[in-house]
Structure 1
Amino acid sequence: MGKVIVLTGAGGVLCSTLAIALAKEGHKIAVLDLKIEAANKVAEKINKDGGIAIAVMANVLEQESLDRARTEVHKRLGSCDILINGAGGNHPLGTTSQPYLQEKDLLNLEDGFKTFFDLDPAGIKFVLDLNFIGTLLPTQVFARDMVGKQGCSILNISSMNAFTPLTKIPAYSGAKAAVSNLTQWLAVHFSKVGIRVNALAPGFFLTDQNRTLLTTENGELTARGRMIIEQTPMGKFGEPEDLIGTTLWLCGEGASFVTGVVIPIDGGFSAYSGV
């Protein structure tokens, strides 16, 4: 029997792929995104292919927006059985220009050049809020539907940054570490009411947010992109479809005794020492 699945950030590359895959399994999909145009495109594709989906505008940082989204989901699909917290991202104001601090960097007056000392607290707060609060608030809103029902679960999106922080992006690394920690905390907290909570930790996937950092305009790898591929034993970036199998498993009855885990999907990146 199909379940009602709510996905936040579902207008993006990764979560739209998950939404489409879950719809093919017979589930009813609520495509939540701040950009309603993106959500509409995903929902339209699912419905065109014979699935059931609705697009709902939602800001994961605003309680009232999420409450309205929940009301709409209830009205059109029913109460939520599975929540996938896919909203997240980084911000340039929380990113350093270089991976390592050199003394000469303190004298660099180039426009836009940022050392650790130049990081903008507002940018850092934005990243922490988007990833951590943007996971916590939707869980507060939609997990209420799951209490007392069978087969309910929450799937968060962490990152390889949560295991070992990457250079240049301290805010994003810290935020995703918080998401992993929250995943474990929620798994314990909800264990007596039958809600499982797990997370995916994607490795390096090309998305709209990181494409310009990892590839050039002509599709060649940047220096950072080459470094990542060299550290990934499988020698390639992940494809959105690589997340589907683990998602279906964690959201299904086959993982009925699995909770509190954060699973790397990274082509071996986390297993490789570099030697």
Structure 2
Amino acid sequence: MSKVIVITGAGGILCSTMAKALAREGHKIAVLDLNVQAAEVVADEIRKEGGEAIGVAANVLDKAALETAKKKVNEILGNCDILINGAGGNHPLGTTSQPFLFEEDLKNTTEGFKTFFDLDPEGIKFVFNLNFIGTLLPTQIFAQDMVGRSGCSILNISSMNAFTPLTKIPAYSGAKAAVSNFTQWLAVHFSKVGIRVNALAPGFFLTEQNRTLLTNSDGSLTQRGQQIIDQTPMGRYGQPEDLISSTLFLCNDASSFITGVVIPIDGGFAAYSGV
């Protein structure tokens, strides 16, 4: 049965792949993104494959903008059946320069060098707002369509950082932990009105946001990139297509008794102790 699926951050690599896969299953896709041009590109690619999709401008931190986006979705596609909260990301101002603090770091005057004590509160706020508030606000707007209807659900995008925080990125790790916790809270809160709430927790996937952190200009791995591969039993980064099967399952009525779960998709990263 065809459903109306709203996906935020769908102009990006991971969520656009999910959008196209869901469209191939016959669902109507609202591609939401702050960059409306990117959203239109994805929607156009779906339409060229014979699917039904619209690109919609949406700032996940602006409730009025989300209400405008919802009105457009409702008018063109109908009521939202499934919401995928895919918008998120990190920011350099919430990232330390080194994984560990040493006393000599406090005397480091290199331009751009940041210890924990140098982290910018505005950068921290940006990361928390984008990931957590950027999940909460779209849910407030679009979940109103779902109350009391069957087959409706929400899929959040958390991270393996939510289970075990990575070095250097305290803001992102904390924000994604909040998303996982919020997923469980919403699953309980919405349980009496027929809305399931689950989340995916991707491990390491190469995207435009982290490419320069994990790979060099010649395509070789940085030191941090190699550390990740060495810690991943399957020995590779995730591919966008690796998210498809879990997405289809959690958006399908076959998972109708599953709510409040966060599914790791990490190539065994979390299971490996390093020895």
TM range (shorter): over 0.9
2-structure distance, mates of 1:274, 1:187: 34
Instruction: Determine the C-alpha separation between the residues in 1 that align with 2:254 and 2:166.
Output: 33
* Paired residues, number: 275
Return 5+ residue gaps in structure 2 as ranges.
none
Aligned counterparts, 1:1-275, within 5 A: 1-275=1-275
| Cα distance in 1 for residues equivalent to 2:73 and 2:40 | 15
How far the C-alpha of 1:148 sits from its partner, in A, is 1.2
Inter-partner Cα distance in structure 2 for 1:149 and 1:42: 28
Q: Whole-Å Cα distance in 1 between the matches of residues 46 and 258 of structure 2?
A: 29
2:156 alignment partner, SS class: strand
The TM-score, its normalising length taken from structure 1, stands at: 1.00
Q: 1:175-224: per-residue Cα shift (whole Å, max 9, x none)? A: 00000000000000000001000000000000000000000000000000
- Cα deviation digits, residues 19-69 of structure 1 (max 9, x gap): 000000000000000001100110000001100000000000000000000
Secondary structure in 2 matching 1:97: coil
**Aligned equivalents of 1:178 and 1:79: distance in 2?**
28
**TM-score of the pair, normalised by structure 2:** 1.00
Give the % identical residues: 76
Unmatched runs of 5 consecutive residues or more in structure 1: none
User: For 1:197, what is the secondary structure of its paired residue?
Assistant: strand
**Which amino acid in 1 is paired with 2:28?**
K
Deviating beyond 2 angstroms after TM superposition, the runs of 4 or more aligned structure 1 residues are none
- The amino acid of 1:108's aligned partner reads N
Return the offset for 1:158: 0.2
For 2:209 and 2:225, the matched residues in 1 are separated by 14
Give distance in 1, aligned partners of 2:248 and 2:273: 30
Question: Partners in 2 of 1:141 and 1:103 — Cα distance?
Answer: 48
Amino acid paired to 1:107 = K
